[in-house]
Amino acid sequence: MRAQRMQRTLLSLVLRLLLLCTVATGKCSGKYHELLLQLQRQADLMQDPSTLLDPYIHLQGLHSPVLQEHCRERPGDFPSEDALWRLSRQDFLQTLNTTLGLILRMLSALQQDLPEAAHQQAEMNVRGFGNNIHCMAQLLRGSSDPKAAEPTQPGPGPTPLPPTPPSSTFQRKLRNCGFLRGYHRFMRTAGQVLRGWGERQGRSRRHSPCRALKRGARRTRPFPEIRRLAPRGQPPR
């Protein structure tokens, strides 16, 4: 038992040191697919309500059906799914980065209202996801294609601000509940978009043919050629 625990601890320590080393040195993986896969997995992990929303609902006593019904995402808290699909890769990453900053601020404000473990885990996830987005953006910026950074559609609007806390504790509970629900929805959408990047590999420069058909009329510019975007890494083919 002790040996196993020791091994586990050592492994965890090594992984953390590696992560810290990566962050500290600023080195990013140059492997596009590996980075994309990591982003997809992280998004899948963060979209799971059991990581944040459920602990919050349990701690705040919001599990009644009546209240669950009104624990809804407010429009404007996060970019909509449509808006995310319309963004260029660079803009998408930029939007993700901005939204993660907002989430971090909200998590900081919710520190007292969340179970400590859930809060810490959620914060680490957001920071790790942000690091990988940073690396992906760096990878894309390293391509010679200047179009990679150009937006294909107007952005999702101004940088979202943390929702204004209501004066009533009860309303604040519902508001935070809706925000966390929106957070999970946003991460779920982000994962879908990221998966779309992988699905289009070798077929189309667009994220998804189906979605492209739906929104193609409004799109003026395709995603840039990934091969041309990542000269140092493994460009998608």
Partner 1 sequence: MALFAVLQTTFLLALLPLRTYQSEVLSEPLPLTPESLNVSINSTKQCMHLQWTVHNPDYHQEFKMVFQIQISRFKASNVIWLENYSTTVKRNQVLHWSWESELPLECAIHFVRMRTMVDDARIPAPRLWSNWSSWEKADAQNSLGDHPLYVFPKDKLVEEGSNVTVCYISMNHQDNISCYLEDVLIYGRQLDQNVWAFEFKNVSFIRKTGTNFYCKGQGDPEGVVLLVSKVLEEPKNFSCETQDLKTLTCTWDPGNDTGLIQLPSYTLFESFSGKKTLCKHRNRCDWQVTQDSQEMYNFTLVAENYFRKRSVSILFNLIHGVHPMAPYSLFPKSVSATNATVTWKVYSIGSKYMARVRCAYADHFWKWSELISQNFTTAEAAPSEAPDVWRDVTFVSGHPTVTLFWKPLSKVHANGKILFYNVVVENLDEPSSLKVLSVPAPANSTKVTLNQSSYQICVTAHNSVGPSPASTVAISGHPGNENVEEGRMNGTEDGFPMSWKPQSRNATGYVVEWCDSPQHLPCVLRWKNLGPTNTDTVISSGAFRPGVRYNFRIYEISTKRMAHLLEKKAGYLKELAPSYNPKVNMSNLTSHSFTLSWKDYPTESQTGFIQGYYVYLKSKTGEKCHRGFEKTFLTDNSVCCKYTIDNPDQKTFVVKDLQPESAYEFLVTPYTSAGEGPLDDFRKVTTPDEYSHILIHIILPMVFFVFVIMIICYLKSQWLKDKCYPDIPDPYKSSVLSLIKFKENPHITIMNVNDCVPDAIEVVNKPEGSKMQFVGTRKSPTETKGTKPAYLDLLPTEKNYSGPGPCICFENFTYNQAASDLGYCGHFPVTPQAPHCQLGPLTSPENLLKTLEQSYMNSLGEIPAGEANLNYVSQLASPMSGDRESPPTNPPEPALCSEYKMQMAIPLGLASPARSENSSLSSTALLDPREHCH
Q: Which long-range contacts (CB under 8 A, 24 or more apart) does 93-101 make?
A: 93/133, 93/136, 93/137, 93/140, 94/137, 94/155, 95/155, 95/156, 96/129, 96/133, 96/190, 97/130, 97/133, 97/134, 97/137, 98/159, 98/160, 99/160, 99/186, 100/126, 100/129, 100/130, 100/133, 101/130
Integer CA distances (angstroms), 86 to 30, 79, 212, in order: 26, 11, 9
Does 54 sit near partner 1 (CB under 8 A)? no
Segment 168-187, which members bind partner 1 (CB under 8 A)? Answer: 168-171, 173-174
- One residue of 16, 27, 63, 127 binding partner 1 per CB under 8 A: 63
**Least distance between partner 1 and beta carbon 174 (Å):** 8
**Binding segment (CB under 8 A) for partner 1, from list 10-18, 46-54, 156-164, 166-174:** 166-174
In eight-state DSSP terms, residue 27 is -
60 binds partner 1 (CB under 8 A): yes
Q: Should residue 104 be labelled a site residue for partner 1 when binding is judged by CB under 8 A?
A: no
**Minimum CB distance to partner 1, residue 205 (Å):** 44
Q: Does the footprint of partner 1 cover residue 214 (CB under 8 A)?
A: no
Residue 158 binding partner 1, by CB under 8 A: no
Pick the closer one to partner 1 by CB: 112 or 144: 112
Residue 68 Cβ vs partner 1, minimum distance, rounded to whole Å: 11
Instruction: Read off the amino acid at residue 122.
Output: A
* Under rule CB under 8 A, residue 205 binds partner 1: no
Stretch binding partner 1 (CB under 8 A), from 59-67, 126-134, 199-207, 227-235: 59-67
Tokens of 21: 């080393």
113 is a site residue for partner 1 (CB under 8 A): yes
State the virtual CA torsion across 95, 147, 37, 190 in degrees, nearest 10. 30
Of the pair 110, 193, the CB lying nearest partner 1 is at 110
107/176 Cα distance (integer angstroms): 10
Does position 112 interact with partner 1 (CB under 8 A)? The reply is yes
Which residue type occupies 169?
T
Shortest approach of partner 1 to residue 122 CB, angstroms? 17
Q: Catalog residues that contact partner 1 under the rule CB under 8 A.
A: 59-64, 66-67, 70, 112-113, 167-171, 173-174
